[in-house]
Chains A and B, each alone.
Chain A
């Protein structure tokens, strides 16, 4: 019928139809299409409304983080991780801190771990709010998105109270937090726990049994668990297929083993199941935050970092008066600390799945090699193959339910 589209190598596919007799149309979905929610492109061959084949072209916002990381002291890599999945930066920040702490074998006090859990779960809620809200927009329901967006704004206010930043947070330090949560932050977290459940319930009422939404999403892009595992999927979209792999539950980090929560799974792996899994995870996140607040109350107050002066910046006023503090301050800022020559792999459950950090350290100022296992990158590769034979409008909602974040896709 027509030339196989995969032959259009190299990376940039052809952008025009050469054959006027051809019955297929080449359609560029992206790189700046409003429905792709990020800077990446799909060149689709379509027959009417049906997709025949497609090629994904990514890399439009590649910023060479892995290369940059080989030239930066550890604490300067945290802002790079912000910009991976910028919808849930705190999870990336914490993942990086915990990777370094694993390498340095730093023991983190329980209170700090619970504080981290609160921040990470808030970030997970913010991430899922975006994904599910946008899924609603793509299926034609705008109001749900608006309702929950206000709550996401409130989560950002909490982050602002904790660290001063909203989106790219650079939250925490290696060894703990740069400052304790203040009273306003705690008050806001408590307020969030009160005001978010009714909103989430309203949001679910708008969608879960909505006839139009079910018709649009149920059975669309269903994936079997075998296929999902073969494509190394992780996160909510893998759990929607029925595989209960959640890093928080399987290999608990940051004291997740102290919490009572469930890992929601789906059955069919379609868009509707992914939506439901993300919604259920938000309820679980709320449960975890509640428990964490209770547990923090039982821990010694005022502890917000580990007692590791050689890795954690001393208070500024001590730097001017105390010789030891000055030395540590200088060494940390210049990246001159002693870290073992070793290699470490550490994974956290990010908003989209297993976010892994593979670091090889040779004793220098920066990692010898740092590799990010980015769930969006690995999850997204199935998009083009699974789109063949799908309607264009189904492919759009499939893409939005994969929750591909361009920053994480391209690193």
Chain B
């Protein structure tokens, strides 16, 4: 099979997905790839079910909020190939209100609560999810608290302003 490394994974992905998959970086040896939400399930399925890649273990699903971007929500998947011990990170940027992406519960049962948590904190609509409810917060909370527009502390406090520290 030759070297099973990030270069090999990149080649395989580019051969199968062409320009739909972008290489975002390789920080600390962990390959990050980006795709569009239309292709995410295809990509995850390919990574999971391909005989050689076989990223069969879903480590985590989470999201990041970048309010200044056009597509402000980045959904991050971490997959792990337990045999070769290689991890990969997949990022999908989504926008719209509510931001939506197809669910990964069709591939991994364990994605259920991870996606519920992401919905709970970021308001991402995982389309096709069997049970998309809040999980850690109370039901009548009408905001998604991990979005950056919700401050943790009183925003009028001045003693923590970056201005005073020369930033």
Contacts and interface: CB of A to CB of B under 8 A. Distances in A.
Q: Are A and B associated in one complex?
A: yes
A59 B76 contact: no
Interface stretch (B6-14, B34-42, B81-89): B81-89
Contacts of A58: 135-136
B30 A345 contact: yes
Interface stretch (B15-23, B94-102, B137-145): B137-145
Contacts of B111: 232
Contacts of A354: 59
A68 B57 CA distance: 29
A146 to B, nearest CB: 35
Contact of B60 (A70, A358, A382): A358
B57 A232 contact: yes
Contacts, number: 105
Interface stretch (A119-127, A297-305, A371-379): A371-379
B136 A411 contact: yes
A251 B152 CA distance: 36
A154 to B, nearest CB: 35
A410 B133 contact: no
Interface string A355-373: 0101010001100110101
Contact of A232 (B59, B117, B136): B59
B133 A10 contact: yes
B153 interface: yes
A10 B60 contact: no
B110 A381 contact: yes
A66 B82 CA distance: 27
Interface stretch (A17-25, A177-185, A336-344): A336-344
A54 to B, nearest CB: 13
B15 to A, nearest CB: 26
B38 to A, nearest CB: 24
Contacts of B110: 230-233, 378, 381-382
B45 to A, nearest CB: 14
Contacts of A358: 60, 62, 76, 78
A344 B114 contact: no
Nearest to A59: B136
Interface string A321-357: 0000000000000101000001111010000001010
15 contacts: A10-B134, A11-B139, A227-B109, A230-B109, A232-B58, A251-B85, A344-B27, A345-B87, A364-B162, A364-B167, A373-B60, A378-B60, A378-B113, A378-B114, A411-B136
